[in-house]
Amino acid sequence: MYINCFDRDRGFGKFTVNYQSGLYVIADTNNSDVVRLITSSGLPNACEFRHRLAWGPPRDPKLAEALRHWASLVEDGTWSVDSNGVCADHEWFTTNTHVAKVPPCLD
């Protein structure tokens, strides 16, 4: 469902660099360090919070929150690591969207 909106007039594809997948910092006046991950399939919501935030308006995760979650995926064995880094490819985010989403941090 979200992949279809990638190329629409206001789709996230317009805000990528040469329609490349990656982690993008979003220019937000309230949270200057929020990020959005665009997967290689065009999925723009793989790096959102799993649940709505109870303590404020909806927002994308901050860079530190996304990196903290990704570190936990390495620590709990979800992602394996070798001498080249994480072994999972970009397709992992599309096929494991629920796990890829960032759990809200309450601390």
Place of tokens 């096929």: 95
If we measure between CA atoms, which residue out of 91, 99, 94 comes closest to residue 70? 99
- pLDDT exceeds 80 at position 104: no
How many domains does one find in the chain?
A: 1
Domain assignment present for 39: yes
- pLDDT exceeds 60 at position 107: no
> Taking the mean position of all CA atoms in its chain, how far away is CA 30?
19
Q: Bridge-partner residues for 37, per DSSP?
A: 23
Give the residue with greater pLDDT, 93 vs 11: 93
Domain assignment present for 26: yes
Instruction: State the residue range of the domain holding 58.
Output: 3-100
Cβ atoms 14, 26 nearer than 8 A: no
- The type of residue at 100 is A
- pLDDT exceeds 60 at position 3: no
- The type of residue at 104 is P
pLDDT of residue 52: 72
Give the residue with greater pLDDT, 75 vs 26: 75
Domain assignment present for 107: no
Domain assignment present for 52: yes
pLDDT of residue 4: 56
19-67 pLDDT, tens digit each: 677 888 877 767 778 888 888 777 888 888 887 777 777 788 889 999 9
Distance CA 32, CA 88 (A): 28
